[in-house]
């Protein structure tokens, strides 16, 4: 990847654009929009949680709130857009290598809009390192650090036999 040809022009993606870049699909695509994307640097994602989400009746009927795994997956889906937004990476599968420093600070309920700020610290040889923080009404909701692999890129560095 020739990073010298990547500038700081901000990109924006609706659902169709997100699906062009990453492999997540309903019911496991949790972000509605990704804007303010600076390739190989940062991205801002948005998710509006409505009462009609499939998980609210089970989590919990008398106190509906967003499960932790969905919060983390929303963070990482925004995070991977920092490098999947590049044309040559569109549609590539990703895999978690590591999650660290996961923190849940606020309950997220139907009607809340999650704003997610993701930062890419490093992307080399198919390994992305960085993290994301989410907010509801300006208050931190969840945060985590990630290491994510892009297997197709990693495979290109394997020695030939």
**In-domain check, residue 161:** no
pLDDT at residue 9, rounded to an integer: 80
Q: Give me the helices (H) in 57-155, please.
A: 68-84, 151-155
**In-domain check, residue 160:** no
Q: Is 68 helix (H, G, I), strand (E, B) or coil?
A: helix
Q: What is the domain range of residue 8?
A: 3-155
**In-domain check, residue 140:** yes
pLDDT at residue 149, rounded to an integer: 98
Question: Which CATH number do you get for residue 113?
Answer: 3.10.129.10
Residue 112 pLDDT > 90? yes
Looking at 19, 59, 73, 99, which residue is catalytic?
59
Number of structural domains the chain divides into: 1
**In-domain check, residue 116:** yes
**In-domain check, residue 131:** yes
Task: Please count the other Cβ atoms lying within 10 Å of the Cβ belonging to residue 156.
Answer: 10
Spatial distance between the Cα atoms of 146 and 100, rounded to a whole number of angstroms = 6
**pLDDT tens digit string along 22-46?**
999 999 999 999 999 999 999 999 9
Q: Is 59 a catalytic residue?
A: yes
């Amino acid at each position: 990847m020739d990073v010298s040809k990547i500038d700081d022009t901000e990109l924006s993606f609706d659902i169709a654009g997100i699906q062009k870049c990453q492999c997540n699909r309903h019911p496991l695509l949790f972000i509605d929009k990704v804007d303010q994307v600076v390739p190989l640097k940062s991205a801002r994602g948005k998710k509006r949680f409505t009462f009609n989400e499939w998980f609210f009746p089970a989590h919990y009927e008398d106190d509906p709130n967003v499960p932790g795994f969905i919060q983390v997956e929303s963070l990482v889906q925004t995070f991977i857009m920092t490098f999947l937004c590049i044309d040559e990476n569109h549609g590539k599968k990703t895999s978690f290598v590591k999650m660290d420093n996961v923190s849940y600070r606020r309950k997220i309920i139907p009607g809340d809009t999650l704003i997610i700020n993701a930062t890419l610290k490093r992307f080399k040889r198919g390994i992305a390192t960085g993290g994301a923080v989410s907010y509801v009404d300006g208050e931190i909701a969840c945060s985590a650090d990630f290491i994510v692999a892009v297997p197709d890129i990693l495979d290109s560095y394997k020695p030939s036999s």
